[in-house]
Amino acid sequence: MRVNYLLLLGLVGCLATSCGRYVLVKQSYEAKEISINAQLPKDTHIDSLIAPQKKLLDSLMNVVIATSEEELIKEKPSGTLNNFCADEMLHIAQQQNPAAEICIINYGGIRLSSLPKGAITVGKIYELLPFDNMIVIQKIDGKTLNEVLDYIASQGGWPISGLRFDIQNKKAVHIMVHNEPIDLHKIYTVVLSDYLANGGDNLAMLKKIPQEPTNLIMREAFIQAIKKSGSLPIDHEKRIQHVD
């Protein structure tokens, strides 16, 4: 990788003299190009400054908080990591609002393609959920929920909990909410991130719906919940499937 450093050509600064006058100082620099590769020598001074912080960070990030019996995979339209994340977030929200019945997470909100079999560290959850998204709850009518699911279908599938549906011609069909067909006139209690509730990832239809805050950062809540359980639940259900 090559980085171009465009240094100022003709930097002009004003320096105050002891008699209150100002002297214009002009300095010229040459543009310099540095090639960043394995041959670039390390800066030992910078390394020495970073070392104590890195040691502290590693001691925090390498703490094992749970184990997984198998590798969890993020996939479209459905995957084991999708199911784990959506289920975990729904369970977390239900501790504050037992009425919460559905969870939706945008596919891009999960930043790892998998969680490994075996030890799960704090650092892995930071990699999985690097954003400071808050968990919120919204009351969404069936018609708007259907619209959201149509968008998810057009994107090939997102992590969901509490419902399932098929994708046909990039639309959500055969939508079931807890084994009941979706009711377009019913109000559903849905858990999602504040990013989505605020209209992120093209869900503008949610922006005007009031939010019930949980005051929980998604990542931190996951760490505490996983640490408490000590293991990752595994669900192979195909909650979203393509049909002809």
Residue 207 covered by a domain? yes
Q: How confident is the model at residue 26 (pLDDT cuts 50, 70, 90)?
A: low
| Rounded Cα distance, 86 and 102, in Å | 9
117 in any annotated domain: yes
* Residue 66 structural domain: 62-242
CATH assignment of the domain containing 71: 3.90.780.10
Q: Hey, what amino acid is at 117? A: K
Nearest-angstrom CA–CA distance, 10 and 69:
62
User: Looking at the domain assignment, is residue 15 inside a domain?
Assistant: no
Average of per-residue pLDDT across 107-135: 97
| pLDDT above 60: residue 152 | yes
Question: How many domains in the chain?
Answer: 1
Distance CA 76, CA 120 (A): 23
Q: Does some domain include residue 81? A: yes
| Residue 222: inside a domain | yes
Given a cut of 70, is residue 17 above it in pLDDT? no
In a domain, 150, yes or no: yes
| Nearest-angstrom CA–CA distance, 212 and 150 | 24
Q: pLDDT confidence of 18, banded at 50, 70, 90?
A: very low
Predicted confidence at residue 25, as pLDDT, reads: 52
The answer to the question of residue 13 being in a domain is: no
Q: Tell me if 174 is assigned to some domain.
A: yes
Cα–chain center distance at 163: 21
Instruction: Annotate 123-155 with DSSP letters as a single string.
Output: HHHHHH--S-PEEEEEEEEHHHHHHHHHHHHHT
- Distance, in Å, from the CA atom of 213 to the CA atom of 31, rounded to the nearest integer, reads 50
